[in-house]
């Protein structure tokens, strides 16, 4: 073998070693990157849990403050078992007779509707009492079609794109 042939083989071995080190390093980078993403997701989950626990703590702290106010300021106490009534008659026994100047009791009106009717009843105007006819909605008018197309255009132009973000994250996780 000549010296030039030996040098060519040497460069080929060095090039193969560098390529193998490059691929090993890129795999290591992707592994660290996926660990960082997993850690970020865990941090977000822990922040949400912390927020939830702080909210619950504040709510319970408010309950204690309300309980103290009820006891000290208002003199309110929790109901005892002997304060509960078993029926409406027992509750009515606590009532007193109406006085002379007392207003009349509230009465509830009810109407018996015929049972023979089937299907929806026609709509009546509350002002005139005559039947109401609704506009036909079979053919879309141009204003509605234009508004829908503008809405779709604005949705496409929006910088917030959850579907694309999910696609990006799933593609990034797959790398």
Instruction: Give pLDDT, residue 44.
Output: 95
> Could you list the mean pLDDT of each consecutive 10-residue stretch along the chain, which spans 175 residues?
84 95 94 94 95 87 77 78 87 83 81 67 75 63 67 62 47 51
Q: What is the pTM of this model?
A: 0.33
* Angle ∠(37,40,43) on CA atoms, nearest 5: 155
The DSSP code sequence of the chain is: --HHHHHHHHHHHHHHHHHHHHHHHHHHHHHHHHHHHHHHHHHHHHHHHHHHHHHHHHHHHHHHHHHHHIIIII---PPPGGG--SSHHHHHTT-----TTPPPPP-----PPPTT--SPPPPB-TTT-SB--PPP-SSPPHHHHHHHHHHHHHHHH-S--HHHHHHHHHHHHH-
Q: What is the Cα–Cα distance from 22 to 25, expressed in whole angstroms? A: 5
pLDDT at 97: 81
Q: Where are the domains of the chain?
A: 27-93
């Amino acid at each position: 073998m000549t010296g030039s042939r030996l040098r060519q083989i040497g460069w080929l071995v060095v090039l193969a070693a560098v390529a193998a080190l490059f691929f090993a390093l890129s795999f290591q980078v992707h592994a660290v990157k996926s660990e960082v993403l997993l850690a970020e997701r865990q941090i977000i989950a822990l922040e949400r849990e912390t927020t939830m626990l702080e909210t619950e703590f504040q709510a319970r702290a408010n309950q204690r403050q309300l309980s103290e106010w009820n006891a000290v300021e208002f003199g309110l106490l929790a109901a005892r078992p002997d304060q509960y009534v078993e029926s409406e008659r027992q509750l009515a026994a606590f009532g007193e007779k109406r006085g002379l100047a007392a207003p009349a009791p509230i009465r509830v009106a009810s109407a018996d509707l015929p049972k023979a009717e089937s299907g929806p009843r026609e709509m009546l105007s509350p002002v005139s009492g005559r039947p109401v006819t609704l506009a036909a909605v079979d053919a879309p008018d141009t204003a509605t079609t234009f508004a829908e197309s503008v809405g779709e255009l604005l949705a496409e132009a929006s910088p917030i794109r959850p579907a694309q973000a999910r696609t990006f994250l799933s593609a990034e996780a797959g790398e």
